[in-house]
Amino acid sequence: MATKTYGIYCPTSKACEVLEPRWTIPILCELWDSNTRFNEIRRALPALSPGLLSKRLKELEANGMIERVENRAQGTVDYFRTQKAIELEPIFDELARWAQRHVDAEIALSDQDAGMLMWKLRRRIIPEEMIEGRNVIRFHFPDATSKHNTYWIVAKRGAEADLCVHDPKLETDLYVECRVGVLTGIYLGRRSLAREIDDGAMFLSGDTRLIRNFTKWLPHNVYAETERIATV
């Protein structure tokens, strides 16, 4: 897969030759996160061009890391990890925990792409922790660098939440306004929801039940509780 090898025999180096090409690991992580279709991966990785994504998927398939499954009746194509790629899960898991422990918060929260954040969060929503019926939450990011700075989550119990980039023309139950890094920090466990509200960095207005249960229906990332190593 790599265009140039290290020219040394070292198992770790040989693994890097397979995994190092830009975007290879993020693509595998998105497949791990059940984003199995081309457009799902594109939305999760907006800085990745369609041409390069197509190239990387073909390389992963040729290397036996993924399987391309076409459903002609439905007109869909899904990409699934093979056992060869699945065996990387504990490695990627430890890599993420290492980053949570050692990567400085300023670096970890530097990305300002609201679209990528919201596409990630819409799959983390737990509608069962929301109020009965339909829930509409409007998120506004004044500092967003993506095409849109306002998004709507529409969720109801028993169904996966929908993400809208245009006003769905539904009554809004909760308004959320903050910088992209603030919500990212809360999700990653690097910022406190209560503190950000008290400091005026996050504004919540609407149904008090949704406000009170914010971190229940939008829970922290699985690595949020990883203990961070203090820098000297």
CATH code for the domain of 29: 1.10.10.10
Which amino acid is located at 123 in the chain?
A: R
Residue 199 sits in a domain whose CATH number is 3.30.1050.10
Both 121 and 209 in one domain: the answer is yes
Averaged confidence pLDDT in the chain: 90
Tens of pLDDT along 1-42? 445 777 777 888 888 888 888 999 999 999 999 999 999 999
Residue with tokens 């081309």: 38
Kindly state the DSSP code that residue 219 receives in the 8-state scheme: P
Both 41 and 133 in one domain: the answer is no
Tens of pLDDT along 156-167? 998 989 999 999
Report the phi/psi class of residue 64: left, alpha or beta, with left for phi > 0 and alpha for psi in -120 to 50.
Answer: left
Domain boundary among 53, 87, 121: 87
Both 116 and 201 in one domain: the answer is yes
Q: Which of 126, 124, 125, 154 is nearest to 138 (CA)?
A: 154
Q: What's the mean pLDDT in 41-58?
A: 93
DSSP string, 119-153: HHHTTT--GGGS-SS-EEEEEE-TT--SS-SEEEE
Tens of pLDDT along 59-87? 999 999 999 999 999 999 999 999 999 99
3 falls within a domain? no
Domain boundary among 72, 87, 102: 87
208 falls within a domain? yes
Range of the domain at 73: 11-87
User: Residue 188: which residues within 8 A CB-CB, separation 6 or more?
Assistant: 100, 108, 109, 220, 221, 223, 224
96 falls within a domain? no
114 falls within a domain? yes
The SS3 call for residue 3 is coil
Both 133 and 69 in one domain: the answer is no
Both 74 and 126 in one domain: the answer is no
58 falls within a domain? yes
The SS3 call for residue 204 is strand
In angstroms, the CA 4 to CA 223 distance is 34
For the cut 50, the answer to whether the pLDDT of residue 232 exceeds it is no
Both 198 and 117 in one domain: the answer is yes
Kindly state the DSSP code that residue 27 receives in the 8-state scheme: H
Please tell me the pTM assigned to this model. 0.80
